[in-house]
Amino acid sequence: MFFTVSLYVALAVFGLGLVYKTSTWFRYSIGIEAEKIPTSVRISAGIKGIAASVFSAKIATLIKVFVLDVILQIKILRQDFLRWLMHICIYIGFILLLLMHALDNFVSSALFTDYYSTINPFMFLRDLFGAMVILGVAIAVYRRFILKVPRLETNAMDYYAIIILAVIMISGVLLEGAKITSYTEFQIMMEDYAGLDDEAAIEALESYWAEYFGVVSPNVKAPFDEDVLSQGQEIHEESCMDCHSRPQWAFAGYAVAKISKPIALALDRAQSATILWYIHFLACFIGLAYLPLSKMFHIFASPLSLLANAVMQKGKSDPANIATRQIMELDACTHCCTCTLNCSAGVFFEHFPNTNILPSEKILSIKYLAAGKPLSADELRHIQEGVYLCTNCSRCTVACPAGINLQDLWFNVRESLLQKGYPEFFALSPLSFYRGLMKEDADKDTYQKPLDQAREAIADTCELMKIQDKILSLSGIDPGFKAGLSRSDQADTFLACFGCETCSTVCPVVASYDNPRAALGLLPHQIMHSCGLGLKDLALGSNMLWYCLTCYQCQERCPQGVSVTDILYELKNAAVEQVKERSNQEKPK
């Protein structure tokens, strides 16, 4: 009764969760363009898209991807054999257990007329599949907690997944072990199937089962008399043998039975088999009910993501379907961290303390963002920095075993976050090269805004730049500034500048403007001079810094050996540092 009720409750929660999660695929959106597409349009586009893919030549691609990437998981194999073994063991083992063992009334019994869970090959196979899952979970634990791969992050959801699987599997094996040794179980079975009244016959069967089937009896003890055993064997062959293979075949449960033998009687009296049975099926039902909200939901979403990405292409597929796919992809993520381990920019996490630099963590933040969770300004800034600090090398997308198009995800999130108005200083770096290449895909009206915003935020911290008459008092001198310019080995070479203007004369940026002062602020030689005077604001506040090509013409030509380009680099660093410090100070404590 309790079993049935809890099963139906779990199924109902699972069903509701499934409906809820699937609905978010059509309701949530990522990116400026996706927000404009209503849910109804996305649902109908989705149906059309699926139909169009299935009933076309694309079906061949879908079948190929299903076999190679979904079933055989070649993408994981390409990354790492151990991880492939881990995942194959868990998912093949679990699916087979689900079909053969959990759903035995519907599957095994229907397929095999002589199915009994306690006879071979079923008894052996159940343990084999269980052992596969346990091996997989053990590898997962080893990978996450013992190997300690740098930048491989483990979160609560990963713990949950490992724990729920471990509880289901271990409780199952223990339950099997407890049932093998259980005298209570033996008695029930004997009454139901053997119907013995004769004391001697009962003793004979009990002895036989204690000797060969691992039952721990309070009444009989080895060594047994040969005659008793042969009498027991007769009864066994008559009443039990048809449904029972030798317990050694259930090697995992049998091992537990062997180990627990000394305490088996006490365990049996404490009803351990019943308790373990409750733990086992409740853990299964919790796993089932919570599945749609846990990372285990990937068992539905990841294959869909792999298949969808195999036949969809930006620019060709319906934007409504791409919007839907991008939300589905968030559920397809298993937090396996393949992306992070392949990330070209992951190394920067060792220097900037922002987990959003790592793609596997970025995607978690994007889940919150898509779900409309209220995020603080700091959190948004961190996500924005994380998506910007990306070299757009596509390695994450190529490697993702769930087929998620991460690069497109970053692009859309980047563009929509940039419009929130937090200045992104990385926009003033060559990381923007890709954004420039993609500008035809971006909103024309909003493309320029983040670039201006970042420059203005920096210039805003430089008071002296705002003085119009340019008669400067000496109060702007920052005595620590000169000494502070020391990041590069040659930054202090500005001291040798004698103002010949060669740097500004050879600068191709300066040469590109009719009125360079208006466009660039201070020119290179003036910036060198400002450094010499300790006029920090002037040195840091010019557009020249951000428009510098780093072509090193100035540095190469300087007759005094001033490392002009390197100093400009250094000043850019200092300017960003200064604006970040200011914004931290302004934050309410």
Partner 1 sequence: MKFALYIGCNIPARLKQYESSARAVLRKFDVGVTDIREFNCCGYPVRNMDHTAFVLASARNLALAARENLSVISLCKCCFGSLKKADHLIKENAALRAEINRILEKEGLKYDGDIEVKHFLSVLFHDIGIKTLKEKIEKPFSDLKIATHYGCHVLRPSKIVQFDDPVVPSIFDQLVEVTGARSIDWPMKLECCGAPVWGINDDLSMRLTEKKLADGDKAGADYLCTACPFCQMQFDTVQQMMRSGRSTDLQLPSVLYPQLLGLSLGIDRDLLGLEMNRLSLQGIEDFVRVPEAVET
In the bound complex, what is the minimum distance in angstroms from residue 417's beta carbon to partner 1?
17
Residue from 130, 120, 213 nearest 170 by CA = 130
In the bound complex, what is the minimum distance in angstroms from residue 332's beta carbon to partner 1?
22
Q: Which residues bind partner 1 (CB under 8 A)?
A: 150, 342-348, 350-352, 389, 391-395, 407, 425-437, 439-440, 451, 487-489, 508-509, 512, 546-553, 555-556, 563, 565-566, 569-570, 572-573, 576
Encode burial over 474-507: b for 16+ CB neighbours within 10 A, e otherwise: eebeeeebbeebeeeeebbbbeebeeebbbbebb
Nearer to partner 1 by Cβ, of 17 and 386: the residue is: 386
In the bound complex, what is the minimum distance in angstroms from residue 526's beta carbon to partner 1?
19
In the bound complex, what is the minimum distance in angstroms from residue 112's beta carbon to partner 1?
47
Contact 258, 179 (CB under 8 A): no
Residue 273 sits at φ, ψ, to 5 deg, of: -60, -45
Nearer to partner 1 by Cβ, of 29 and 392: the residue is: 392
In whole angstroms, give the CA distance from residue 109 to residue 119.
13
Phi-psi region of 550 (alpha: psi -120 to 50; beta: other; left: phi over 0): left
In the bound complex, what is the minimum distance in angstroms from residue 543's beta carbon to partner 1?
8
Which residue blocks in 182-225 are alpha helix, DSSP H?
183-189, 199-212
In the bound complex, what is the minimum distance in angstroms from residue 84's beta carbon to partner 1?
16
Nearer to partner 1 by Cβ, of 234 and 492: the residue is: 492
In the bound complex, what is the minimum distance in angstroms from residue 297's beta carbon to partner 1?
30
Neighbours of 253 (CB within 10 A): 26
Contact 157, 335 (CB under 8 A): yes
DSSP 1-52: -HHHHHHHHHHHHHHHHHHHHHHHHHH---SHHHHTS-HHHHHHHHHHHHHH
In whole angstroms, give the CA distance from residue 378 to residue 319.
31
In the bound complex, what is the minimum distance in angstroms from residue 464's beta carbon to partner 1?
22
Nearer to partner 1 by Cβ, of 94 and 546: the residue is: 546
Neighbours of 546 (CB within 10 A): 20
Nearer to partner 1 by Cβ, of 320 and 389: the residue is: 389
Contact 383, 363 (CB under 8 A): no
Residue from 90, 98, 82 nearest 136 by CA = 90
Nearer to partner 1 by Cβ, of 126 and 381: the residue is: 381
Encode burial over 424-458: b for 16+ CB neighbours within 10 A, e otherwise: bbbbbeebbebbeeeeeebeeeebeebbebbbebb
Contact 312, 321 (CB under 8 A): yes
Nearer to partner 1 by Cβ, of 64 and 487: the residue is: 487
Residue from 326, 356, 360 nearest 341 by CA = 360
Nearer to partner 1 by Cβ, of 297 and 388: the residue is: 388
In the bound complex, what is the minimum distance in angstroms from residue 179's beta carbon to partner 1?
48
Nearer to partner 1 by Cβ, of 303 and 401: the residue is: 401
In the bound complex, what is the minimum distance in angstroms from residue 425's beta carbon to partner 1?
6
457 is written with which tokens?
């935020």
In the bound complex, what is the minimum distance in angstroms from residue 356's beta carbon to partner 1?
15
Residue 169 neighbours by CB under 8 Å, 6+ apart: 130, 133, 134, 137
Nearer to partner 1 by Cβ, of 220 and 558: the residue is: 558
In the bound complex, what is the minimum distance in angstroms from residue 468's beta carbon to partner 1?
24
Nearer to partner 1 by Cβ, of 369 and 510: the residue is: 510
Type of residue numbered 273: A
Nearer to partner 1 by Cβ, of 303 and 516: the residue is: 516
In the bound complex, what is the minimum distance in angstroms from residue 339's beta carbon to partner 1?
13
Please enumerate, as own/partner, the contacts of 147-156 that have beta carbons within 8 Å and a separation of 24 or more.
Answer: 149/341, 150/350, 151/337, 151/340, 151/341, 151/343, 151/346, 151/349, 151/358, 152/337, 152/340, 152/341, 153/335, 153/337, 153/340, 153/355, 153/358, 153/360, 153/361, 155/335, 155/364
Nearer to partner 1 by Cβ, of 170 and 451: the residue is: 451
Residue 489 sits at φ, ψ, to 5 deg, of: -70, -15
